[in-house]
Amino acid sequence: MTDILVNSEKLAKQYKIGEVVVNALGGIDFKIETGAFTAFVGPSGSGKSTLLNIIGCLDKPTTGKILVLETDVSGLNRRKAAAFRGENIGFIFQDFNLIPVLSAAENIEYPLIMVQKWPAGRRRRRVSELLEAVDLSAQADNRPDQLSGGQKQRVAVARALAAGPRMVLADEPTANLDSETAGRIISLMRSIRDSFGTTFIFSTHDKRIVDKAEQVFFMEDGLLRQEGAA
């Protein structure tokens, strides 16, 4: 496979807090192949979330370059970055980030209303398809506080996939799940990748994600330690 989805050159990010400068990313080069289950692994503070936020156009590098789908995303203004995200990228977070007052179905539908502006009939069909894919059809009307942790994360997976993105960025998606539930969520994401070719990019400590990943990057102090296929 030679098709490259993300290409980073000397990517660096500094945060300044008063006089103190933190080198969150120290100038890193990497390529992520289209369709690869990809993991960035490293201790807390090593720069994983910073990196995912830059890939996801939620933040910009201080220096260096990053191409996502051959677009230089560090050069996009806010509006164009938001459009690029809406079209190409889904997000999954450690603490699920569901909207508490909305049902499972409504949480999944939300980006289709707010970002995609799909008509109602098309949205309804898509939502029931996704509920079925994550095995939550029976919980469609439950609010997040009526769902288990694993069910919440399945809603979040469905929401990330709603608009059919090319890639999903998942920041420690199994950190708040028990081991068995985490295993099921990982298998679900792998089967989605296998069916639809969606590229999954993880930040994680979870050995089970690393075991299933085809590309693994080890981070330490904002640098890549080594690289290799699992």
Which residues contribute to the site for ligand ADP (CB under 6 A)? 15, 17, 22, 24, 42, 44-50, 203
Binding of residue 49 to Mg ion (CB under 5 A) = yes
Judged by beta carbon distances under 5 to 8 A according to partner kind, the member of Mg ion, ligand ADP, none in contact with residue 22 is ligand ADP
Least Å distance, CB 123 to Mg ion, is 32
Binding of residue 103 to Mg ion (CB under 5 A) = no
Smaller CB distance to ligand ADP: residue 17 or 229? 17
- Whether residue 43 contacts residue 23, with contact meaning beta carbons closer than 8 Å, is answered with no
- By three-state DSSP, how is residue 5 classified? strand
Smaller CB distance to ligand ADP: residue 22 or 101? 22
Helices then strands, counting H and E runs in the chain, come out as 7, 10
Q: Cβ neighbours of residue 114 under 8 Å, at least 6 residues apart?
A: none
Sheet strands (E) in the chain: 4-17, 20-33, 37-41, 63-68, 71-72, 89-92, 167-171, 199-204, 215-220, 223-228
Binding of residue 199 to Mg ion (CB under 5 A) = no
Torsion sign (Cα): 123, 105, 85, 226: negative
Q: CB under 5 A: which stretch of 2-10, 22-30, 49-57, 138-146 binds Mg ion?
A: 49-57
Least Å distance, CB 173 to Mg ion, is 11
Least Å distance, CB 175 to Mg ion, is 9
Smaller CB distance to Mg ion: residue 48 or 159? 48
Judged by beta carbon distances under 5 to 8 A according to partner kind, the member of ligand ADP, Mg ion, none in contact with residue 15 is ligand ADP
Judged by beta carbon distances under 5 to 8 A according to partner kind, the member of Mg ion, ligand ADP, none in contact with residue 77 is none
Tokens of 186: 């990982």
Q: At residue 209, what is the residue type?
A: I
